[in-house]
Amino acid sequence: MKILISDKIDENALSYLKEQKIDVDYLPEITPEELLKSISTYDALILRSRTRVTKEVIESGINLKVIARAGTGLDNIDIKAAEQKNIKVINTPSANVTAVAELTLGLMISLFRKLGLAYTSMKEGLWLKKDLKGSELNGKTIGIIGFGRIGKKVSELLSVFGVEILIYDLQNSTCSLEELFTRSDLITIHVALTPVTRGFINKKLLSLMKPSAFLINISRGEVVDEENLYEALVNKRIAGCALDVFWQEPLSADSRFRKLDNVILTPHIGAATHEALKKASQSVAEDVVRALKGE
Ligand code: MLT
């Protein structure tokens, strides 16, 4: 059995795979062209978010039995093409939950307390104490869109802050999407990118937000309509937003979003903790071994 690991994973998982006497090629910098050329020799592919497993890759993977994503989102894998070839697709939906939920809380406080401006102005030699009056989370209404593992964890972490929580989810809503957008002081998005969620935070929903409200997107860029979000931010229709994910990653150096003063940007680091990487890598390594053994 031969496994290709095409993105960076934790060392312990690599050692585990070697202990299992599995032939592993660890090529975390492999290019799309090299992947396409070499994939036919592998039984399993382990990846994170950098590698795109296109239909072409899957069709060239004549020996592929498993595609395993160390992480949650499967939007970089052509699932349909994998299904058609009977290739198992595995992810690690629990490994990143704490990391993403904790960063969400950090971004909430950063938005309410203007930490972006506080930080950059101090670096610039300024003392903006008078301009940096923020708001407390306490007493606010927080809208959570998507109440899967991460949405639930966010709500659990929020339970000590004295907030009202509104939830919109296909199975578990406390109100309509319109009510959530109208009433929330901050809305945070925790849905997977699917044909249904692509672009679903649109102009109409954004127009319902209070001018004092914030938005956090830590799910996938394409869930929010880029043009309409930019317009809402540049015209100060909403107070601001925090984006960890983008329509195109890496975000271009000259992106118009980098120039907005009411935006906090982070480079898709929701799951980037030592703990989450370790958990995701170990879980995926064990699952791949099980799948290759037909378990
Ligand atoms: C995930 O889907 O696991 C997270 O967004 C982390 C990532 O893709 O890097």
Please state the domain extents for the chain.
Answer: 2-92+274-292, 97-265
Ligand 1 centroid from CA 261, angstroms: 26
Classify the C-alpha dihedral 156-215-112-252 as positive or negative: positive
Predicted local confidence at residue 123, as pLDDT:
98
For residue range 67-104, list pLDDT tens digits in order: 999 999 999 999 999 999 999 999 999 999 999 999 99
- Candidates 156, 249, 258, 290; catalytic one: 249
> Active site includes 268?
yes
CATH 3.40.50.720 fits 97-265, yes or no: yes
> Active site includes 249?
yes
Segments of the chain scoring below 70 in pLDDT: none
Ligand 1 centroid from CA 241, angstroms: 20
CATH number, domain 2-92+274-292, options 1.25.50.10, 3.40.50.150, 3.40.50.970, 3.40.50.720: 3.40.50.720
Report the SS3 class of residue 168.
Answer: strand
- Closest atom of ligand 1 relative to the 71 alpha carbon: 3
Rounded-to-integer distance, Cα 249 and Cα 256, Å: 14
Predicted local confidence at residue 8, as pLDDT:
96
Torsion, CA 233, CA 236, CA 238, CA 241, rounded to 10: 40
User: Do 2-92+274-292 and 97-265 show the same overall fold?
Assistant: yes
Ligand 1 centroid from CA 270, angstroms: 7
Pocket of ligand 1 (CB under 6 A): 48-49, 71-73, 96, 268, 270-271
> Active site includes 136?
no
Ligand 1 atom 9: residue of nearest CA:
49
Number of H helices, E strands in the chain: 11, 11
Q: The pTM is what?
A: 0.95
Ligand 1 centroid from CA 101, angstroms: 12
